[in-house]
A and B are shown apart, each in its own frame.
Chain A
Amino acid sequence: EVQLVESGGGLVQPGGSLRLSCAASAFTVSTNYMTWVRQAPGKGLEWVSVIYSGGSTYYADSVKGRFTISRDSSKNTLYLEMNSLRVEDTAVYYCARGRIGGGNILDYWGQGTLVTVSS
């Protein structure tokens, strides 16, 4: 059974850094598009970043230059390195798998990890 389990969220001060992890099972992270989506408290869904199977990456303008998506094939894990965090980055962060044959169709999601940016 495909599973995605996020970790690494928590409370951080503005300007701080955090690294989120997303451990995958029953499929290989490096052969799928993998995506991060976030949801601010009480708000809708916002796409953050994607990494292709070939390694190309794309980012939302709101996080470009501050966030970095990456993966470790040996650990079958996706990461999101977040620097220069802002209050408006506060959200639940979900990792999601891109459907095979349709990479930006998100067919499996993790349970989410909460990031709170506050002083």
Chain B
Amino acid sequence: AIRMTQSPSSLSASIGDRVTITCRASQGLSSYLAWYQQKPGKAPKLLIYAASTLQSGVPSRFSGSGSGTDFTLTINCLQSEDFATYYCQQYYSYPLTFGPGTKVDV
């Protein structure tokens, strides 16, 4: 199975900050990587797929980059509604695997 790691595991940020989260895969994924946002008690929400394609309806302050084994999610000008946990997911091969998550809080 492909192992996904994320860093940091948590971070503290303020409104207006730029936040960067890193996701690393144990083997190459090409661009078969997605990012999800999850708020407490809620289902995950798709933000980005194919490493850098913004899902319809997602604000443009979210962006993704990377390919192969190293990927980045960037949130520009953090808003109050962005405080949440973020997960990366590889869909290159089965079993599908998720990163352990990065919690973004105040």
Contacts and interface: CB of A to CB of B under 8 A. Distances in A.
Contact of A107 (B55, B87, B99, B101): B55
Contacts, number: 53
A44 B99 contact: yes
Nearest to B90: A104
Contact of A105 (B34, B38, B45): B34
Contact of A47 (B45, B49, B55, B97): B97
Given A44-B87, A45-B87, A106 B98 contact: no
Nearest to B43: A109
Nearest to A99: B49
Contacts of B43: 94, 109-112
A61 interface: yes
A47 B94 CA distance: 9
Interface residues of B, number: 22
A106 B95 contact: no
Tell me the interface secondary structure of chain A in the complex: strand
A102 B98 CA distance: 17
B98 A107 contact: no
A60 interface: yes
B98 A47 contact: yes
Given A47-B97, A102-B91, 7 more contacts: A44-B98, A45-B101, A47-B95, A50-B96, A102-B50, A104-B96, A107-B46
Which 7 pairs across A and B sit closest by C-beta, in order of nearness?
A: A104-B91, A109-B43, A47-B96, A45-B98, A105-B49, A44-B101, A107-B46
Interface of B: 34, 36, 38, 42-46, 49-50, 55, 87, 89, 91, 94-101
